[in-house]
Structure 1
Amino acid sequence: MRSRTGGMWWGTSIEAPDPSALARFYADLLGWHIGHEEPGTAVVAASPQGPFFVFQQADGYQAPVWPPTEGEQRPMMHFDFQVGDLDSAVAEAVDLGATVAEFQPQENVCVLVDPAGHPFCLCLDEG
């Protein structure tokens, strides 16, 4: 997508009760850096050109429930990250503050929950 200013940008925005803390979690998990931070917003970037994850303050935030449950806040999105060593990647994510979800729907993928309650997947890259 080309912005009206002529530059290229792409990313996604994620609601969080503490955007700075969640940005630090993903920056540490991915080896990215925090590219911008201000009250209510923190941006994690792979490089100055992106991709970007924008974490935004959400008053009244309700963490999604995994697996989806009738009448509860459903996950609206989730990240999938490919990893070369699933066990090591899961251990690192847990050390950073993630929790392993109780429900695991498939082999070679581990569903975790980030510190704000968003589910994300670590997927074994078998290629």
Structure 2
Amino acid sequence: MRSRASGMWWGTAIEAPDPAALARFYAELLEWPIVHEEPGTAVVAPPQGAVYLVFQQADGYRSPAWPPGDGEQRPMMHLDFQVGDLDEAVADAVAGGAVLAPVQPQQNVRVLFDPAGHPFCLCREEG
């Protein structure tokens, strides 16, 4: 892949049983707008920049198990977000529909589950 100074973008697609609802969760969490929505697909992106999150309909969706267990659906990826105030960020995420994971492996990181059950991490900004 050749790097370009302009015109580059990147993103990831995330499966969900209700892509519009999951897009609304992340739009609120990140304070990014939903930039595209159609049946079975919704896209969230920052006001500036060339990054996006696509949420796609997944029939028969099973949320991943975290921590992973034998025979269970494993997380294929997770998102990390750096935050200034970890407690406040966790409270905001939970108020928006996230669930705090029962296992927390690091003191400066909180693992949560989004409304579709995907794990994601809020990481305290170290300054």
- TM tier, smaller: over 0.9
Larger mean CA deviation between 32-41 and 42-51 belongs to 42-51
**TM-score normalised by the chain length of structure 2:** 0.93
CA distance in 2, matches of 1:115, 1:103: 18
CA shift at 1:48, angstroms? 5.7
CA distance in 2, matches of 1:102, 1:112: 9
Task: Give 1:35's aligned residue.
Answer: 35
Task: Give 2:104's aligned residue.
Answer: 104
3-state secondary structure, aligned to 2:122: strand
Q: What aligned pairs does 1:77-92 form with structure 2 within 5 A after superposition?
A: 77-92=77-92
Unaligned runs of 5+ in 2: none
Counterpart AA for 2:62: Q
CA distance in 2, matches of 1:50, 1:36: 14
CA distance in 1, matches of 2:123, 2:35: 26
CA shift at 1:49, angstroms? 4.1
1:66 matched to 2:66: yes
3-state secondary structure, aligned to 2:92: helix
- The verdict on how the C-alpha distance between 1:26 and 1:126 changes in structure 2, with shifts beyond 3 A counting, is same
**TM-score normalised by the chain length of structure 1:** 0.93
Task: Give 1:25's aligned residue.
Answer: 25
Q: Deviations over 1:32-80 (max 9, x none)?
A: 0000000000000013643100000000000000100110000000000
Q: Deviations over 1:76-125 (max 9, x none)?
A: 00000000000000000000000000011111100000000000000000
Unaligned runs of 5+ in 1: none
**How many pairs were matched up?**
124
8 Å CA contact 1:29–1:96 kept in 2: the answer is yes
